[in-house]
Structure 1
Amino acid sequence: MLDDQALFRYSRQILLSEVDVEGQDKLKNSRVVIIGMGGLGSPASLYLAAAGIGTLCLADFDTIDLSNLQRQIMYGADQIKQQKAQAAKQRLSNLNPDITIHPFTEVISEENIYSLIDNADVVLDCTDNFLTRDLINQTCFHHKKRLVSGAAIRLQGQITTFDFTKKQSPCYHCLYGDGNEQELTCSEAGVLGPVVGVVGTLQALEAIKLLVGFGEPLVGRLLAFNAINSQFRELKITKDPACTVCGGSYE
C-alpha cells in the first residue's frame, strides 16, 4: 500500500492509465537485478530507482577510474577508485531513500550467479563481454527469469528482451550462437556517452513495462540504434530449434 508521500513522489507516472496506483504498487514490490554498473547500468538504475522499484541489486566487481566518467553518469570525480556497486548505492539511496539497494561486488561466475538472480523479477544485462552475457542468458533461461539485454559500442546500440516464462521466446544464444571471445570492448573500440545512455534508458523502460504489465516488450525483436543518422531499426529474432541453450524441449 502506498502512503501519501509515495503517491506524491510518483504522481506523474501514477497519472498514466498504463501505470496507475496498482502499477506503482507492483513496482514497489518488485526486485530487479542489474549486472554491470557502467555506461548502461548507470542510466538504467537511476531511472529504475526514481520510478520506485522496491529492491535493486547492483552487481559489479570493478572500481571507478577517470576514463569511466565520460559515459558512466552515476559517478563523480570524488568517487574514483571506489567500488562501483557501493558508490552507486550511495547515489541511488540519495535519489530515493525509500527503496532497498543491495550491492554485489564479486566477479560473476557459475558459482554465484544463481544466488544473485534467484528472487529477481527482471534481470538487466548491462555487461560488455560475451562470456558473461552467455552465462547470464543460460542462467536466466534455466530459472525462467525475464532478461533485458543491452549493448553499445562506437556509435551504435541495441536492445532486446528475452522472456523465459514464455515458451516461444528466443534467447541470447539464438541470436549470437557461440559468439566471439575476441570481440572488441568500449575500451578498445570507443563509444559515445549518449549512445549508452539511450540504450540504458530503454532497458529501464523495458523493465518497467514487464513489471507493471503494459505495452509490448521487445520479445522476439531487436531494436538497433545508429547514432550517426539518429535512426532506429527493428529486426525480428526467432527461436532457434537447434540452440544449445533453449532449443529442443522446454521443461
Structure 2
Amino acid sequence: MAAVPEDLRGLQAALVEREREIAKLKSQINNLKGRGSCDQLLDEGVPVCEQREKVLALPRRTTLSRDQIGRYSRQLVLPEFGVQGQLRLANTAVLVVGCGGLGSPLAQYVAAAGIGAVLHVPRGRLGLVDHDVVEVDNLHRQVLHSERRLGWSKARSAAHTVEQLNSDVDCIPYHLELCASNAVELIKQYDIVADCSDNVPTRYLVSDACVLAHVPLVSACALRMEGQLTVYCHKGGPCYRCIYPDPPSPDTVTNCADGGVLGVVPGVMGSLQALEVLKIAADMNSSYSERLLLFDGLSGRFRTVRLRGHQKHCIACGDSPLIPPLPDYESWCGTTANDKCRHLMLLNKEERIGVQDYKEVLDKGKPHLLLDVRPAVEFEICHISHAIHMPLEHLEMRNHQAVENLQELVLQEISKLPSNNASLPVFIICKQGNDSQKAVLLLREFLAAEPVTLMDIQGGLTAWAACVDLTFPQY
C-alpha cells in the first residue's frame, strides 16, 4: 500500500477537527433552540416572565475564548478593566428602553464591548425595548436604522444592527410599549437599565420600576443642542422622584418633534450613557450617581452639578413608599409617553377650520389674511406663498412694533373689502395646529377693536401637506 502523503494526513486531521467543532456547534444550537431567536421572541410574543426563568438559570461564564481575547484585546489591557471586567460584561444583562437617538449609540457600544457575549451558554444579554417603527425623519440621529428598514419595528431593526456588529451578543428585541403592567416584570430580568426614551411619563415609569426591581438606572436626554446625563437607584443614590417629585407642566415640555435636535447631540449623550453602563457593569465607580452632567453642544462645554441624595420622604424609594401600585403615568404627567406632537384643544370647534375648507376659501377667491406663526427658521424651510409671517414669539412678548404692523395690515385689508362684508377673515396656521390656537387667543386682544373673524387652521401645515398639497414639504 502506498504511503499517505504528509499533506493529506494533515488535511484529514484538520477535517476531523472541523467536524468535531461542527458537532459541538450543532449541540449548542439545539440547546439554545428552546430560548428562541430574536425574531421569534419578537414575532411570537414570548412572555417575559417565561424568558426570565429560562435565561437566569444559566451559569456564569468564567473564562474567555481565544477569539474573545483577540476581539476585546484593546480593552482587556486596560488596568482598570482587564479580564475580570470583560467577564463581568459578558455576564451582565442590560435593558435599553428606547432605540432612538440615545439608544442607537448606546446599544452599539455596549454590544461592541461584549455585554452579553456568548461563549457556550449566555448569562448576560442585551434587551432592546421600543414600540415605534422606523421613519425617515429618524435617520439623521438614529443610526441603528437605515433607509431599507423604513417601517420596521425599531426593536427589530436595532437587534439586526447589533447582531451584525457582534454576533456573539445575546440580543432580545421587545416590540412593546413599556407600561405599568409590564415594566417591573421585564426590568427584573436585567442588571442595568438605560433609559433612552426621552419623555417624561416613561422616565417616571422606568425609575419607579427600577426602584421596585433594585436595578440601577442610567438616564440621559437630548434636545436642540443640549444634553443631560445622570445615574439613579445606584448604591443608595436617589431615584428620579427624589430629584423631581412632581412632573413639569405639559406646556413647558418640548420634544424633538417640536424643538428639534442636531443629530450628533443625542449621539454624544448616548455614547456617554454607554460609558456609564459599561463602568457599572464592570464594577468600576459611576461618575454620575448623585451628579448631573450638562452638555452644551453650541459652546462645546461640559459641566457637572451635584444633585441632592436619596430622600427619605420619596414616595418611590423613601422610608414609607406609596409605590406600588404604579400609577397611570400619562394621565399623571398630562402628556403621552412618546416624542410625537401633542394636540392641544384650546378653542371651540367654531373657531377652527379644516385644511380642505380653507382650500375652498382659496379656490373661491374670498378675501382674507393668512398668518403663519411659526418661528423664522421654520418659515424659511417652507411656507404657503401668500402667508404673512407673524411669529408667535412676537405676540407672546407683546412686541409693540410687530403688533402695530399687523394692525396696520389688517386695516389695509379691511379697506379693500366690499361694503357688504361685515368682517375680515383672518386664518392662522402653524406646523401642527397648536401654536396657531395660542395665537388666536392673543390676537383676540390685539385685534379686539377691528372687525375681524379669527380662525385657527386645524392640523396646520402637516395636515395641509397630507390632505391638500401632497408636494408640500413635511419636516
TM-score bin (small chain):
over 0.9
Distance 1:216 1:123 in 2: 14
SS of alignment partner, residue 139 of structure 2: helix
User: Is residue 248 from structure 1 mapped to residue 343 from structure 2 by the alignment?
Assistant: no
CA 37–85 in structure 1, closer or farther in 2 if over 3 Å, else same:
same
Unpaired runs of at least 5, structure 2:
1-62, 117-124, 322-475
Q: Which is helix-richer, 1 or 2? A: 2
User: Is residue 82 from structure 1 mapped to residue 191 from structure 2 by the alignment?
Assistant: no
Distance 2:233 2:202 in 1: 19
| 2:244 aligned residue (176, 184, 200) | 176
Q: Assess if the C-alpha contact under 8 Å between 1:63 and 1:82 holds in 2.
A: yes
User: Is residue 7 from structure 1 mapped to residue 69 from structure 2 by the alignment?
Assistant: yes
Q: State how 1:91-240 maps to structure 2 within 5 Å.
A: 91-164=161-234, 166-167=235-236, 169-180=237-248, 182=250, 183-238=253-308, 239-240=310-311
Moved more, 232-241 or 74-83: 232-241
Match of residue 26 from structure 1:
88
The letter for the 1-side match of 2:81 is: V
The letter for the 1-side match of 2:87 is: D
**1:249 Cα shift?**
5.0
Moved more, 102-111 or 207-216: 207-216
Q: How many residues align?
A: 248
**1:187 Cα shift?**
0.8
SS of alignment partner, residue 157 of structure 1: strand
Alpha-carbon deviations, 1:38-57, whole Å to 9, x = none? Answer: 00000000000000000100
TM-score, normalised with respect to structure 2: 0.51
**1:215 Cα shift?**
3.6
Cα RMSD after superposing both structures: 1.3
* Identity value in percent: 39
Q: Assess if the C-alpha contact under 8 Å between 1:40 and 1:197 holds in 2.
A: yes
TM-score, normalised with respect to structure 1: 0.95
Q: State how 1:61-76 maps to structure 2 within 5 Å.
A: 61-76=131-146
Q: Assess if the C-alpha contact under 8 Å between 1:130 and 1:181 holds in 2.
A: no
The letter for the 2-side match of 1:117 is: I
Q: Which is strand-richer, 1 or 2? A: 1
SS of alignment partner, residue 203 of structure 2: helix
Unpaired runs of at least 5, structure 1:
none
**1:177 Cα shift?**
2.2
SS of alignment partner, residue 228 of structure 2: strand
Q: Assess if the C-alpha contact under 8 Å between 1:131 and 1:181 holds in 2.
A: no
Kindly indicate whether structure 1 or structure 2 has the higher relative contact order, using CA contacts under 8 Å at least 6 residues apart.
Answer: 1
Distance 2:110 2:316 in 1: 29
**1:149 Cα shift?**
0.4
Distance 1:113 1:132 in 2: 10
Alpha-carbon deviations, 1:2-34, whole Å to 9, x = none? Answer: 100000000000010111111101111110000
Distance 1:244 1:232 in 2: 32
Distance 2:249 2:168 in 1: 41
Distance 1:158 1:15 in 2: 31
**1:197 Cα shift?**
0.6
**1:241 Cα shift?**
3.4
The letter for the 2-side match of 1:104 is: Y
Q: Assess if the C-alpha contact under 8 Å between 1:151 and 1:159 holds in 2.
A: yes
The letter for the 1-side match of 2:221 is: A
Distance 2:249 2:106 in 1: 26
| 2:98 aligned residue (26, 29, 36) | 36
The letter for the 2-side match of 1:230 is: G
**1:247 Cα shift?**
2.6
Distance 1:181 1:10 in 2: 46
